[in-house]
Each structure stands twice: as C-alpha cells, then as structure tokens.
C-alpha cells in the first residue's frame, strides 16, 4: 500500500487513476491507459490493488473492462471533502500558532544571547578585578613587609630611648640629690662663717664656701642640661610613638582596602551566579518551547499524512517543516555553547573561592603579627 501513495513521477503515480475516475465517472480500461499514458500491465496492477482496497469497481469485458469509483469510496471522498475545509482551517490556525511560538522562541533566544553577552562581560570584569586584586595584594605584601621592618625599627628605637630616659632620670635624680646636699653644706658653712671669730678659721671656711658654690653652680648647670636632654628625649619618644601610630593606621588602611576588594569580588561573584541561574532558567524555557513546537509540528504532520492520501499535492507544509528543523539544529548548537559557558563559570567560581580563602588567611596572618607586636611593646 505504501508504494501506491508515495510520490513518484507523473507517469507512474497510481493516484492519477483515482483522480481521472473521480472527474469522468465510468471509463473503459483502454481509454484510461491512453489518457494516463501507461502500459496495460501497469494499469492492470493498479486496478488489482485498488479493487482489493474497494476503491474501484470493475465490470464488463475482461479484455477491456469498465472502471468506476465504488459507492463506498465516493461517500468517503465526500466525507473527506467536508472535513477538508475544517482541517484546512485547523492547519492554518496551527501554522499561525507555530509562527507566534517561533517568534516568541526567537525573542527568548535573543534575550538569552543578550544575557550571555552580559555574562561574558561580567566574567571579563571579574577576571580584571581578580588581576587587580592580585596586584594589589602583592603590593600590600610589599608595603606590609616595609611597615613591619619600620615598626620593628621604631619599636627598637623606643626601647632604647626608654632605657636612655630611665638612665637620664637616674642621673638627674642623683645629681639633684647632690645639689640639695651641696645647698645644705653651703648653708652650714655660711652659718659657721657668721659665728666664727678667728680669722684663720674664717679663711678656711671662705675657701670651702667658694668650692661649694663652684660645685653647686657646676651641678646646677649639669642638671639643666640633663633636664633639657630629658625633654628632648621625651619629644623624640612622642614623635616615635606618633610615627608608630601612623604605621599602625597605614597597616589598618591596607587591611581595609583588602576587605573592600574582597567584598567587591564577592559581590561580582554573586552577580555571576545569579546570571548563571537566570541563563539556566532561560535554557529550560527554550527547551520547553522547543518541545511544544515539536509536539505541534507532529500534530500537523499527522493531519497532513491523513489528508495527503487524496489532497497531498495541495498541502504546502514542507517549507515550514524544514524551517522548524533548522531552528531545532540552531537550538542544539546554542545549548552546547551555553553548557560550555556554564562549565567556564563553574571553573571561574572555584578559582574565586580559592582566592578568597587565600585573602582570608593573609588577613589573619597580618592581624596575628600586629597583635604579637603590640604584646611585645606592652612588655
């Protein structure tokens, strides 16, 4: 049966026999063979098969029988003709529906392409940000090392200065005690001079007074120098402490910049994940719409196959089928590209997580160093 209705060349298409009888009514086999330009053997084969299918009726002479469409087949033709207009309307509406769905699919595809472009741009931004943070981290390490050396140097200077201040304080305290003692001795000598009666003894006391006054003046001058030195050392100590505070603030600023960079990286990472999620949702919607179109196309093909038995030459669905097939191939290609893109995103996200962990460990190390240095200073 399949061989009868499959499209062939015009001269060997058995459907032409049915169409001829439908238009003319009853005809002799010889007239049919002449009209259709086929040999009698081929025609007899068609007649045999159509008679078995109860499509045509044979009567009269065996050599040149009369052929006509059976009553049952005519009734079926009328029924099919009635349904034809209904099916044509259904197919037209289905084609319009497919057109709308194809347009919606095209818009969805365009939206997906825009999202892919945005996602690629975000990945480029993410890569640039990673490179920038990597350079900044290297620069921060260099600065931190310089700050560490400077703070160690300042701490050493402060310790030495503190030691000098203690030594200077002891010296000045001892000198002050000596000055106080000299003042008492001088007062005692002056008292003795005032009460002494002998000139010889007064002379000795005057000489002693002179020595005590010279020593007092010398010690007083020295005490002033020591006090001035102590003030200079205190100023230097204040300056060193201010410098140390500046270094601490600078180190805190570096840590703050690292935290800000880490936050920015996390935010960009979050945006990429959201776009990746949206892209997957769009892919799902595309697959669902593609499935709807395939199902509707299948329904149309079934309608066409049912009607094509008698009206196949009048249906023009092949172009639409080819277009849908082309769209299906494009969607498969796009899905492969999207999957590749998603794989790159996953790989990039893992790299970001590793980078964030390194930044966290680095920050904890710096905080530990700072805490250790503060504890040494307090000691």
Tens of pLDDT, residue by residue over 335-360, are 677 677 667 767 777 777 776 677 67
Does 159 lie in the same domain as 39?
Answer: no
Q: Which of 20, 43, 69 is the last residue of a domain?
A: 69
Return the percentage of the chain with pLDDT > 70, whole number. 68
Where is average pLDDT lowest: 23-37, 161-175, 329-343?
329-343
- 149 shares its domain with 257: yes
Tell me the residue range of the domain where 37 lies.
Answer: 2-69
Give the rounded distance of the alpha carbon of 29 from its chain centre: 77
Same domain? For 194 and 237 the reply is yes
**Residues 46 and 106 grouped into a single domain:** no
* In contact, 212 and 182? CB cutoff 8 Å: yes
Whole-number pLDDT of residue 255 = 63
- Best-predicted range by mean pLDDT (49-58, 159-168, 244-253, 328-337): 49-58
59-68, 86-95, 103-112, 283-292: least confident range: 86-95
Last residue of a domain, one of 47, 69, 91: 69
**255 and 316 both lie in a single domain:** yes
Of the pLDDT bands very low, low, confident and very high (cuts 50, 70, 90), residue 11 is low
Tens digit of each residue's pLDDT (9 = 90 or more) over 254-270: 666 666 656 766 776 67
Average pLDDT, the chain: 73
Query: Which stretches within the chain are classed as H helix?
Result: 2-5, 15-24, 29-36, 40-52, 71-195, 199-311, 318-378
In Å, how far are 25, 151, 199, 359 from 195, measured between CA atoms? 177, 65, 11, 86
Q: Identify the residue whose tokens are 């945006």.
A: 271
Decide if pLDDT at 189 tops 80: no
Q: Are 129 and 53 part of one and the same domain?
A: no
Question: CA 24 to CA 22: how far, in whole Å?
Answer: 6
Of 14, 47, 69, the position where a domain reaches its end is 69
pLDDT at 249 over 60: yes
Q: Place 66 in a pLDDT band, splitting at 50, 70 and 90.
A: very high
pLDDT at 45: 92
Q: Is the pLDDT of residue 67 over 90?
A: yes
Do 108 and 246 share a domain, yes or no? Answer: yes
Tell me: the pLDDT tens digits for 267-279?
A: 766 777 777 777 7
For residues 29 and 13, membership in a common domain is answered with yes
The whole-number pLDDT of residue 377 equals: 61
In percent, the amount of the chain with pLDDT more than 90 equals 7
> In this predicted structure, what is the pLDDT of residue 197?
53
Q: Mean pLDDT over residues 187-203, rounded?
A: 72
What confidence category does residue 65 fall into, taking pLDDT thresholds of 50, 70 and 90? very high
Total structural domains in the chain?
A: 2
Rounded CA separation 367/288 (Å): 54
Residues 254 and 146 placed together within one structural domain of the fold = yes
Structure tokens at 361: 């460990």
Q: What is the mean pLDDT of residues 204-222?
A: 75
């Amino acid at each position: 049966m399949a061989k009868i209705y499959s499209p062939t060349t015009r001269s060997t298409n058995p459907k032409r026999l049915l169409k001829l009888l439908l238009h003319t009514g009853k005809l002799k086999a010889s007239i049919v063979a002449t009209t259709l330009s086929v040999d009698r053997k081929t025609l007899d084969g068609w007649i045999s098969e159509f008679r078995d299918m109860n499509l045509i009726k044979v009567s009269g002479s065996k050599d040149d029988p009369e052929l006509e469409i059976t009553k049952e087949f005519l009734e079926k033709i009328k029924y099919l003709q009635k349904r034809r207009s209904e099916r044509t309307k259904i197919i037209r509406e289905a084609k319009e529906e497919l057109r709308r769905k194809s347009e919606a699919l095209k818009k969805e595809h365009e939206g997906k392409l825009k999202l892919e472009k945005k996602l690629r741009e975000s990945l480029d931004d993410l890569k640039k940000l990673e490179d920038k943070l990597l350079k900044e981290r290297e620069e921060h390490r260099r600065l931190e090392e310089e700050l560490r050396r400077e703070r160690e140097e300042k701490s050493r200077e402060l310790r030495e200065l503190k030691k000098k201040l203690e030594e200077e304080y002891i010296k000045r305290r001892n000198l002050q005690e000596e000055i106080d003692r000299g003042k008492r001795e001088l007062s005692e000598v002056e008292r003795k001079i005032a009460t002494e009666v002998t000139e010889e003894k007064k002379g000795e006391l005057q000489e002693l007074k002179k020595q005590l006054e010279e020593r007092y003046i010398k010690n007083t001058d020295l005490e002033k120098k020591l006090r001035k030195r102590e003030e200079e050392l205190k100023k230097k100590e204040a300056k060193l402490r201010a410098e140390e505070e500046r270094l601490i603030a600078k180190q805190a600023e570096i840590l703050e910049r690292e935290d800000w960079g880490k936050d920015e990286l996390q935010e960009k990472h979050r945006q990429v994940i959201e776009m990746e999620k949206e892209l997957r949702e769009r892919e799902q919607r595309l697959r669902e719409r593609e499935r709807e179109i395939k199902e509707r196309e299948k329904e149309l093909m079934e309608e066409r196959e049912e009607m094509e038995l008698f009206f196949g030459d009048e249906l023009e669905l092949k172009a639409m089928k080819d277009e849908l097939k082309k769209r299906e191939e494009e969607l498969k290609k796009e899905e492969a590209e999207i999957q590749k893109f998603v794989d790159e995103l996953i790989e990039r996200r893992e790299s970001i997580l590793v980078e964030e962990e390194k930044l966290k460990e680095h920050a904890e190390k710096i905080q530990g160093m700072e805490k250790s240095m503060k504890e040494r200073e307090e000691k």
